[in-house]
Chains A and B, each alone.
Chain A
Amino acid sequence: MKKVEAIVRHFKLEDVKNALTDQGVQGMTITEVRGFGRQKGHTEMYRGTEYAVDFVPKIKIEVAVADDRLQDVVDTIMRTAQTGQIGDGKIFVTELLEAIRIRTGEKSQDALG
């Protein structure tokens, strides 16, 4: 199993979610996050005081997938979240040691589906 963490733009969330669920992904978790990469931040001004805002808001999508589904999921996120401009975000893939459905106690891939 793998965990896919995708940092994407706010307005891409709906597209990514729809494409993933169309593909059979049954669940995901999203978080509003802040961070920076090459896009860097922006400045804000309040009554003449300027603040450099380094951390820009993004959405983090977390999806747990079976190994054989990984490439499809990554491709789908790539396809739907991309604009080609700096600031599109990143995808991180990590090994997932275990998954357990709390209601039933099912484990591993049974817990994902």
Chain B
Amino acid sequence: MIMGSVWSKLGVVCALSMLGAMTITAVADEQGVAQEQASDAVLATVEGDSSIGQKPATPVDTGDNAWMLVSSALVLMMTGPGLAMFYSGLVRKKNVLGVMMQCFFLMAMMTVIWGLWGYTLAFGGDPDDPGASGYSAWIGNSEYLLMNNVAPTWQDSAGEPSYPMSGTIPVLTHMVFQGMFFIITPALICGAFAERMKFSAMVVFTAIWGTVVYCPLCHWVWDGGILADGSSYSQFGGFSLGALDFAGGTVVHISSGVSALVCALVLGKRLGYGSDPMPPHNLTYTTIGAAMLWVGWFGFNAGSAGAANTVAASAFVATHFSAAAGALAWAGMEWIFRGKPTVLGTCSGAVAGLVCVTPAAGFVLPIPAMILGLVAGVACYLACTGLKHTFGYDDSLDAFGVHGIGGTVGAVLTGVFATRVIQGSERLGVLENGPYLAAQIGATIVTWVFAAVVTFVILKLIDLTIGLRVSQKDEVQGLDLSQHGEEGYIFI
């Protein structure tokens, strides 16, 4: 029943955004006025500085804002060129542009969706003042629709602009930082359906997936919803689903990883999988891409502190240490069991470590972060080399093996290693007799089920309408030529 109302609300919001610009502006203005009257606690208007010709004094913390803007750019760099290179080096020559295009196109499309309706579905409404702001724990309201209450407005009375604020930074900064996460999450899934999905189907899938999977999850975890730590909405009959997720273990990695597995299963194997050789066509790209992911992840995790503070420093170090330990762990596993440490394995291990530490980054000390990386390197190695072959699914670039498994391990281990030493006041992880492990597991299960079921439904709907896979002829020819009429490498 609750879900029903959620979807109807979602439908209304989506429908709203399809209406003409005039109507929307009118509606948005009305809401803006209503919210201003409600004096939303999150929003603070710029206090006027009377000195004429000077910029008004703002409550912006310039250090925080600078760090968050740099972090936003770093997270965008993770998708392009980071993920684009990491993934495109792993496919065959004939699909190199297909993969790069998916990443780059998502940078554009998810940004537009985020600006129009994504941000408001994820963050609309104030959980601290639910009555006045029309807050729902299931989905964001229309507070930020079309950048309303995000973009600055002209204050006639004060004779100067007013920037909506989110703590010490403008809502604009928070919006664009979170928007970069909205881009990379569906881009991660591309690794599972690489080399065989129709481009049109990919566009429709990611647009819908971002709206109905990512936005609600993001709202549940980071805007006081049903999986949010410390939220009254995350208590279910004595059981708390309020989990620690510092930078997106559930929202980004479990959701994309599990959806990736469903994609691989629903689309089926690539033609010739298991019989034809499908080695990576250019591991130099992959290595460069992995290095960019590592660097970009500092924006992702340390930026998730939301400020240039001590927690950011702690998250930065935890992120770095986990990546390093992950790389060593995977390479070590190969060295011991296969005789040689590989470049691809070392890169994959670093990414696994980064994935794993994502939910924990702001809650764990440096040495426990190394343990997280170590466990992730081993677990993801086993998933990509053993699990995949045992079950025979074709997760082309191991999106599930790295992000699904690494994210799950990270979410659970956060409940073990998280400590109040970093930023909290109450006990967190099992090691300090904290209560969070149950909630971590609970939130992980909810995320798994939600992402898997909704992804399955979206894929089936697309399969019944425009179709998911390219034709056999197109798949043999390669996505570069068949989907885009171009080639990555031209002999002239």
Q: Which A residues have a C-beta under 8 Å from some C-beta of B?
A: 44-49, 51
Instruction: Check if A47 sits within 8 Å of B345, measured CB to CB.
Output: yes
Instruction: Check if A51 sits within 8 Å of B277, measured CB to CB.
Output: yes
Complex Cα–Cα for A44 and B386 (A)? 17
CB nearest neighbor in B for A52 = B277
B385 in contact (CB, < 8 A): yes
What sequence of 0s and 1s flags, for each residue 335-352 of chain B, a beta carbon within 8 Å of any chain A beta carbon?
000101010110010000
Interface residues of B in 346-390 (CB under 8 A from A): 348, 381, 384-386, 389
Residues in chain A near residue B385, CB distance under 8 A: 47-49
Complex Cα–Cα for A44 and B344 (A)? 12
CB nearest neighbor in A for B386 = A48
Interface of B is mostly: helix
Known: A45-B340, A48-B386. 8 other contacts (CB 8 A): A44-B279, A45-B334, A45-B338, A47-B344, A47-B398, A48-B338, A48-B385, A51-B277
Number of interface residues of B (CB under 8 A): 16
Instruction: Check if B348 sits within 8 Å of A47, measured CB to CB.
Output: yes
Complex Cα–Cα for A51 and B385 (A)? 14
Instruction: Check if A51 sits within 8 Å of B389, measured CB to CB.
Output: no
Complex Cα–Cα for A13 and B389 (A)? 42
CB A107 to nearest CB in B, in angstroms, measures 30
Q: What are 14 A-B pairs at a CB distance below 8 A?
A: A44-B279, A45-B334, A45-B338, A45-B342, A46-B279, A46-B280, A47-B344, A47-B384, A47-B385, A48-B385, A49-B279, A49-B385, A49-B389, A51-B277
Residues in chain B near residue A51, CB distance under 8 A: 277, 279
Q: Which of B279, B280, B389 contacts A48 (CB 8 A)?
A: B389
CB A34 to nearest CB in B, in angstroms, measures 13
Instruction: Check if A48 sits within 8 Å of B277, measured CB to CB.
Output: no
CB nearest neighbor in A for B277 = A51
Complex Cα–Cα for A51 and B281 (A)? 13
CB A42 to nearest CB in B, in angstroms, measures 12
Residues in chain B near residue A44, CB distance under 8 A: 279
Complex Cα–Cα for A47 and B344 (A)? 7
Residues in chain B near residue A49, CB distance under 8 A: 279, 385, 389
Residues in chain A near residue B348, CB distance under 8 A: 47
Residues in chain A near residue B384, CB distance under 8 A: 47-48
Complex Cα–Cα for A47 and B385 (A)? 6
